[in-house]
Amino acid sequence: MDKTKVGIINVTGYVGVELARLLHQHPQVELISVTGRSAAGQKLGSVFPHLAGIDLTIEAELGEVDLAFSAMPHKESAGEVTPLVDRGTRVVDISADFRLKNAAEYVSTYGFTHPAPQRLGQAVYGLPELHGAEIAPAQLVANPGCYPTGAILALAPVVKAGLIEPEIVVDSKSGLSGAGRTLSLRSHYSETNEDTAAYALEGHRHLPEITQELGLLHSGQALSVTFVPHLTPMTRGILTTCYATLSAGKKGQEELRQLYLDFYRGKPFVRIAEEPPHTKHTWGSNLCLIYPTIAPATGKLIVISCIDNLVKGAAGQAVQNMNLMLGLPEVSGLEAVAVYP
């Protein structure tokens, strides 16, 4: 059988190279084209020595592919993706440009007027554990943000079951690759090594995604999500600790665990952990580990999730979406065990 031809727009960031790594190793697709403005004309393996085994030259324009991934920055991605969708190419857009259903939120959250608002309704939010059936036939899939992936998967079961009060706290700890390969003082080694700090206290761009998706699962009073992201000195990984108050008639620890096991039954990339999970246990893999528990002193619900932000939080999830879109096994090309220690 011929392999499906795929390509990556803007391969030169961390999500782009991670996609290249995964697609190169995927048994049923062939990566035939990668683009990147500044590096156009160079061999992929010259710019990224770990990809020296991939014989591709970085191009200015994407070649003819069956399915394209856009790893462009937000605001710029829509402009690349829309013409492709118009001419029938299927696309997984890893930027934020098609994640939000409400065009007005692009103005308030990202500071730009969305250039193709009519596409927002058509795009499917690419969290396979929640939207698998819609992703399969979709032409345009909006790959979720890294923080939303961890937060939504942690909270979806209790929100859907109506088990918690609407006030939720989401406290995330992220490694630095999430800030990308673009140079900035925030990612400068000497500034970030031996350091932990919160940021975006004025409101992080991923909050509307979290609220939108949990809101779809929720009935009753609107959810109130307080989200604080933190940077910790590691390259990969996001650990998210969620806090909520259990509604009256609350569940016990075992019942809670069973709820999560039931919710994610048959989902290959979610594992309900038996112990508080470590980001390191997901390093390089597409797994999301989730640990729900109840604080003995206060009865508060605590749900902890962890993912590799570049895999389940970005490139791996994009491949998972592609698998569903192409009718391939969901786990195809994503079966690698985490590299530990």
Which residues 273-292 are close enough to bind a second copy by CB under 8 A?
273-285, 289
Q: How far is the CB of 82 from a second copy (least distance, A)?
A: 30
- Interface with a second copy in residues 196-215 (CB under 8 A): 196-199, 201-203, 207
Q: Residue 297 CB, nearest distance to a second copy (Å)?
A: 6
3-state secondary structure of 326: helix
Query: x/- contact string, 2-21, with a second copy (CB under 8 A)?
Result: ------------x--x---x
Least Cβ distance, residue 89 to a second copy (angstroms): 26
Which residue do the tokens 């990668």 mark? 34
Active site residue 146: yes
Q: Which of 146, 242, 288, 306 is catalytic?
A: 146
Least separation in angstroms between residue 83's CB and a second copy is 31
Q: Interface with a second copy includes 112 (CB under 8 A)?
A: no
Residue in 271, 143, 267 with CA at minimum distance from that of residue 213: 143
Under the binding rule (CB under 8 A), the answer on residue 217 touching a second copy is no
Strands 301-307 and 238-246: antiparallel
Using CB under 8 A as the binding rule, whether residue 122 contacts a second copy is answered as no
Q: Which member of 60, 104, 133, 339 binds a second copy (CB under 8 A)?
A: 339
Does residue 222 touch a second copy according to CB under 8 A? Answer: no
The helix (run of H) or strand (run of E) holding residue 301 is: strand 301-307
Who contacts 302 (Cβ-Cβ below 8 Å, separation ≥6)? 241, 242, 243, 292, 293, 294, 295
Phi-psi region of 299 (alpha: psi -120 to 50; beta: other; left: phi over 0): left
Binding to a second copy (CB under 8 A) within 126-185 occurs at: 167, 169, 171, 173, 175-177, 181, 183-185
Residue with Cβ nearer a second copy (89 or 282): 282
| Member of 195, 258, 262, 329 binding a second copy (CB under 8 A) | 195
Would you give the distance in Å from CA 337 to the centre of its chain?
Answer: 19
Task: Output 70 or 279, the one with its CB closest to a second copy.
Answer: 279
In terms of CB distance, is 136 or 268 closer to a second copy?
A: 268
If one asks whether residue 312 binds a second copy (CB under 8 A), the answer comes out as: no
CA 14, 93, 46, 284 torsion: positive or negative? positive
- Identify the CA nearest to 73 among candidates 116, 151, 144, 9: 9
Q: Is there binding between residue 50 and a second copy (CB under 8 A)?
A: yes
Closest CA to 64 of 5, 152, 108, 115: 5
> What residues between 224 and 243 interact with a second copy by CB under 8 A?
224-228, 230, 232-237, 239, 241, 243
Residues that contact a second copy, how many (by CB under 8 A): 87
DSSP string of 23-74? HHT-SSEEEEEEE-TTTTTSBHHHHSGGGTTS--BEESS----SEEEE-PPT
Residues identified as active-site: 146
